């Protein structure tokens, strides 16, 4: 899947940008609950997911009473 084919937003995740969305889709991650099962380090290890995307995901997790896995 090219980043051009990735949707602007997936599931209940915040808008992250197409590279991060594409990378998360390829990893099978489409919900905040799935994000919460990963650590920041795990997510940053996924090519296409950078620090800004992780910050946006952390804010969304906090808004929903969730946290990253430690």
Instruction: Tell whether 56 is covered by a domain.
Output: yes
**Matching residue, tokens 């997790």:** 61
Instruction: Tell whether 46 is covered by a domain.
Output: yes
65: domain CATH number is 1.10.150.20
What single string gives the DSSP state of each residue in the chain? --GGGS-SS-TTPPP--HHHHHHHHHTT--SHHHHTTS-HHHHHTSTT--HHHHHHHHHHHHHTT-----
Instruction: Tell whether 53 is covered by a domain.
Output: yes
Q: Please, what sign has the CA dihedral across residues 3, 8, 22, 60?
A: positive
Mean pLDDT of residues grouped by 10 in the chain (70 residues)? 64 92 95 97 97 97 95
Q: Residue 49 belongs to what domain range?
A: 18-70
pLDDT for 59 equals 97
Distance separating alpha carbons of residues 65 and 22, to the nearest angstrom? 25
Instruction: Tell whether 9 is covered by a domain.
Output: no
pLDDT for 10 equals 84
Instruction: Tell whether 22 is covered by a domain.
Output: yes
For the chain, the domain total comes to 1
Instruction: Tell whether 5 is covered by a domain.
Output: no
């Amino acid at each position: 899947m090219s980043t051009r084919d990735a949707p602007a937003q997936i599931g209940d995740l915040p808008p992250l940008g197409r590279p991060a969305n594409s990378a998360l889709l390829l990893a099978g991650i489409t919900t905040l609950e799935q994000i919460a099962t990963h650590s920041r380090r795990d997510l940053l290890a996924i090519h296409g997911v950078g620090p800004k995307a992780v910050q946006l995901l952390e804010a969304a997790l906090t808004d929903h009473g969730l946290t990253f896995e430690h």
